[in-house]
Amino acid sequence: MKIGILTGGGDVPGLNPCIKVMVNRAIAAGNQVVGIRRGWAGLLNYDPNSTADQSEWIIPLTGRTVRTIDRFGGTFLHTSRTNPSKVKASDVPGFLRGEFQAPEGGTVDCTPHVLRVLKALGIDMLAPIGGDDTLSYAVRLHQEGVPVVGIPKTMDNDVYGTDYCIGFSTAVTRSVDLIADLRTPAGSHERIAVVELFGRNSGETVLIASYLSGADRAVIAEVPFDVERLATLAMHDRNENPSCYAVIVISEGATMKGGATVERGEEDAYGHRKLGGIGQQTAEALHDITGIEVLYQQLGYLMRGGPPDSLDRMVAMSYANLAIDLVLRHESGQMVALQSGVYTTVPLDVIARKVKRVDVEELYDVQEYRPKIAHQLGKPMFLY
């Protein structure tokens, strides 16, 4: 077989170890592997009729190619948020503009071209590694008859159907360490610290990072918050702390009561605008209410930078082995997953069946704005 591997959406630590194991396992079993560069953009921009070098989009993968990639974070195949089913006129490759013309202000579906490319490349099985956006287009290709095995990754850990996505542990680990470091300036200056984390509309990164770091308050995306009450709680925390400071961790997707999600920029190909800035708004409001100086820090890309931690390496490599097991058995239309601590597989289209969010009733105190573990027995490893 010839297997195609790609990474889409935001980068996370753990992608390269996953790719390396997949390549080595596949080659050892007598198969060929190609890397599709820049996510779905690689298939969109590849011209099957061109004789020019197109290694910008498609490259062969060998043991030598991937020998050292697991030592680094990110994805050596690069990534994008391209959705070939919704391509703006400006993003349609020049050689396709005669065939695919997007209406004014709209998009065009270039999937017929992607199908031709897969056939021309002779790809027998496609293995995309991505979040629910990237995998949603994998579902589309599966419905078109393309053999696909999906691998879930996102630091937000919000792909439905699996308890764990590649990148989550490292993001939480980075956050816990950085929150601890920020106690130094917060305590030295006797301030309230507001730390904003990635996570889009899921509050799990904030919930778990706050729980593990011992932050005073956690504001998650699932529960709109009253900034006046948050100010009262923060002042109580600061006054009770011998070092006279308080730490609040807030999700980028959080909203004040009566307010809206803080977004900016144009929608991407999957209908998302960039989030971020609610932490700064909250910090300014807290300062106005309390009169106390507020330290605001958006951790942002620091959460997903650098090499993976040991848990993300373990899961990434295990997902790779599980995915190649499916490939070698010619079982497509599946996504590898972890459920209740056990590796398993689920139908690929399960990702669209439900939205994965924090179980507020079980894990969050909506009055005190902090994690709440009412009982531990029977909880999964990540409390999710």
The residue type of 159 is V
147: which DSSP letter? -
Q: What is the pTM of this model?
A: 0.94
The residue type of 13 is P
Q: Which residues contact 288 (CB under 8 A, 6 or more apart)?
A: none
Cα(361)–Cα(223) distance, rounded to whole angstroms? 11
- Nearest Cα to Cα of residue 307 among 62, 38, 76: 76
The residue type of 6 is L
Q: Is 43 helix (H, G, I), strand (E, B) or coil?
A: helix
What pLDDT score was predicted for residue 336?
A: 98
What pLDDT score was predicted for residue 382?
A: 67
- Nearest Cα to Cα of residue 215 among 248, 185, 176: 248
Give me Rg for the CA atoms of the chain: 22
Cα(240)–Cα(234) distance, rounded to whole angstroms? 10
Q: Which residues contact 124 (CB under 8 A, 6 or more apart)?
A: 1, 2, 3, 147
Expressed in angstroms, the distance from the first to the final Cα of the chain is: 37
Taking a C-beta distance cutoff of 8 angstroms, is the pair 223, 361 a contact? no
Q: How far is CA 268 from CA 45, 46, 75, 244, in A?
A: 18, 21, 20, 43
How many C-beta atoms lie closer than 10 Å to residue 45's C-beta? 24
Active site (annotated) includes residue 156 = yes
What pLDDT score was predicted for residue 23?
A: 98
Taking a C-beta distance cutoff of 8 angstroms, is the pair 149, 123 a contact? no
Phi–psi pair at 296, nearest 5 degrees: -110, 130
- Nearest Cα to Cα of residue 21 among 103, 104, 102, 127: 127
Cα(16)–Cα(21) distance, rounded to whole angstroms? 9
Cα(288)–Cα(105) distance, rounded to whole angstroms? 42
What pLDDT score was predicted for residue 262?
A: 87
189: which DSSP letter? T
- Nearest Cα to Cα of residue 220 among 355, 356, 358: 358
Biggest CA–CA distance in the chain, Å, is 71
**Cβ-count burial of 53 within 10 angstroms (0-12 exposed, 13-18 middle, 19+ buried)?**
exposed
Q: How far is CA 121 from CA 19, 109, 125, 262, 382, in A?
A: 19, 20, 11, 43, 40
**Annotated catalytic residue, options 156, 158, 216, 237:** 156
Phi–psi pair at 254, nearest 5 degrees: -70, 155
Helices (H), 83-159: 111-121, 132-143
The residue type of 138 is A
Domains along the chain with CATH numbers: 2-166+306-352 (3.40.50.450), 168-303+359-371 (3.40.50.460)
- Nearest Cα to Cα of residue 25 among 57, 77, 66: 66
Tens digits of pLDDT across the chain (384 residues): 999 999 999 999 999 999 999 999 999 999 999 999 999 999 999 999 999 999 999 999 999 999 999 999 999 999 999 999 999 999 999 999 999 999 988 999 999 999 999 999 999 999 999 999 999 999 999 999 999 999 999 999 999 999 999 999 999 999 999 999 999 999 999 999 999 999 988 999 999 999 999 999 999 999 999 999 999 999 999 999 999 999 999 999 999 999 888 888 888 888 888 888 999 999 999 999 999 999 999 999 999 999 999 999 999 999 999 999 999 999 999 999 999 889 999 999 999 999 899 999 989 999 999 999 878 888 777 665
